[in-house]
Amino acid sequence: MRRYDAAIFDLLTALIDSWSLFNAIAGGEERGLEWRKAYLKRMYATGAYVPFTGVVEQSARDVGLPPATARDLISRWGELQPWPEAREVLSSLRVPLGVVTNCSEELGARAAALIGVPFATVATAERAGFYKPDPRTYQLALAGIGVAPERTLFVAGSAGDVPGASAAGLDVYWHNRRGLPLPAGAPRPLAEERSLRPLLRFFEG
């Protein structure tokens, strides 16, 4: 008997290499990382949903990047690439799949389509009315797949998803591709890996 009956993924970090696009637009890995950290800090502190493009623009300004940098990110959204094993791993999971993402309905749908597998739900911060790690974003995804949280595995990408999804009653597999530190006081994830492949063991019957 498999351990979980459904899987929900963070979209823009667990399944997609959004880091590379931030780096390319910012002009290098160091500047891209600064922008990315500022973006996540603002996102996690915002709470109730405000337009995603404004948060991206404000985070760019936080690190001294011009406003046009944020507009470039939106215009080049179609350049986002899934992690190399993402499609293969998700295609192997014979359970309902969902994603949660801190962006608008339009951008969330476009990013989810890049994975190339069907999702039972694409839960965006815009539709939830709140940015992750507010539990209501994860609860929206759970409602969309119709599976109880204790039977659903959440696959985190960003560090903030670990305590966020845990607070919503989900066990967490952390796809920590970049080797980031866990936030102080956060619960330990069920597993922490640099790849998506090991999560298959949690669905083997």
With 60 as the cut, is the pLDDT of residue 1 above it?
A: no
Q: What would the DSSP string read from start to end of 41-68?
A: HHHHHH-B---HHHHHHHHHHHTT--HH
- Residue 24 buriedness (CB in 10 A; 0-12 / 13-18 / 19+): middle
Q: What is the mean pLDDT of residues 68-72?
A: 93
| Residues 109-119: tens digit of each pLDDT | 999 999 999 99
Mean of all residue pLDDT scores within the chain: 95
Q: What is the mean pLDDT of residues 4-12?
A: 97
| Residues 169-193: tens digit of each pLDDT | 999 999 999 898 998 889 999 999 9
Q: What is the mean pLDDT of residues 78-99?
A: 97
Give pLDDT, residue 2.
Answer: 66
Helix axes 29-46, 52-62, angle to 10 degrees: 130
| Residues 31-43: tens digit of each pLDDT | 999 999 899 899 8
CB 96, CB 48: distance < 8 Å: no
Which parts of the chain fold into alpha helices (H)? 18-26, 29-46, 52-62, 67-75, 86-92, 105-113, 125-128, 135-145, 161-167
Q: What is the mean pLDDT of residues 150-155?
A: 97
Query: Domain map of the chain by residue range?
Result: 6-17+80-203, 18-78
DSSP label at residue 195: S
Q: Nearest CA to 125 among 112, 110, 141?
A: 141
Q: Which fold has domain 6-17+80-203?
A: Rossmann fold (3.40.50)
With 70 as the cut, is the pLDDT of residue 73 above it?
A: yes
List beta partners, residue 7: 97, 153
